[in-house]
Amino acid sequence: MKAVLQRVTRAAVAINGQTHAEIAHGMVILLAVHRDDEQEDIAYLAHKILNLRIFADAQQRFNLSVRDISGSLLIIPQFTLFAATRKGNRPSFSTAAGSEKARRMTQAFLSYMQARYEQVFCGVFQAHMRVSLTNDGPVTIIIDSQERKRSRRAV
């Protein structure tokens, strides 16, 4: 799974011109499922997101997690995070999970997060969404669950 996290002061997702979900201070998480992802990827990514210290403490240092600040999470399914653009001008999405697996894994991820944190909101899988946000910082972090399998010594 791949997630792009953006620290925000506000964010909203609209579908068909109607606000579907909105948050104040917290994180927007753009989420994509890889074709090789398994249940372990869900736990790994959720743990990283909930414990990542990207919010400022009293000394303006990144020492606080979303839990520490009682922030909200807005999770947006976005398969295009696995776009391959090396060859040609049309992106390939061959490494992204197929629709059924992606739907199942996205729902499992949302359920996992909601069981561990109450301020979790989400977009709608395969819907055309309009996402608006005010990035705070800006702070944007990318987490790929496949990274946990790679040696830390590899360059």
User: Mind telling me the catalytic residues?
Assistant: 78-80
Query: Rounded distance, CA 63 to CA 88, Å?
Result: 42
Asked if 5 and 145 touch (Cβ cutoff 8 Å), the reply is: no
Q: Which residues pair with 13 in a beta bridge?
A: 21, 131
Rounded CA-CA distance 88/128 in Å is 25
Cis upstream peptide for 138 (omega within 30°): yes
Task: Identify the H or E element spanning 49.
Answer: helix 39-51
Please check whether residue 5 is in contact with residue 141, taking contact to mean a CB–CB distance below 8 angstroms.
yes
Distances (CA, A) of 1 to 60, 66, 135, 147: 30, 20, 22, 10
Please name the amino acid found at residue 107: Q
